[in-house]
Amino acid sequence: MTVYVKVYYQILCKVDVTLRCINTQLTLSSQEMYDHGFSAMEKSHQRSIAEMKATHTQEIDRLRQDKEELLRSEAHDTQAGTCHSVN
């Protein structure tokens, strides 16, 4: 009976070591997945910010062009009104 107990104990020890190795590998894999996920999220965030900045810049440029066009139109209308008043 003691031989069976010793063999059983040896098997349990091997299983325990194997399970510990698997657990260590899973822990490392989880950390790698976390690191990769965080890195991907950070890159996505940076892309979003870059897109927002580009959109903002385009919008500012468009607004400046609209402003200049309105000022030119107003100046033209003012000159046209002045010329009509003189005549």
List, for residues 54-84, the tens digit of each pLDDT value. 999 999 999 999 999 999 999 988 888 775 5
State pLDDT tens for residues 1-54: 577 777 777 887 887 878 887 777 777 777 777 777 788 888 889 999 999 999
The string of DSSP codes covering 1-63 is: -HHHHHHHHHHHHHHHHHHHHHHHHHHHHHHHHHHHHHHHHHHHHHHHHHHHHHHHHHHHHHH
Q: Locate 2 and state its tokens.
A: 């003691």
pTM of the model: 0.50
C-alpha 43/C-alpha 31 separation (Å) is 18
What's the pLDDT at 85?
A: 52
CA separation for the pair 70, 78 (Å, rounded): 12
Domains: count for the chain: 1
How many residues belong to the chain? Answer: 87
Give the structural domain span for 40: 1-87
Return the pLDDT at 26.
Answer: 75
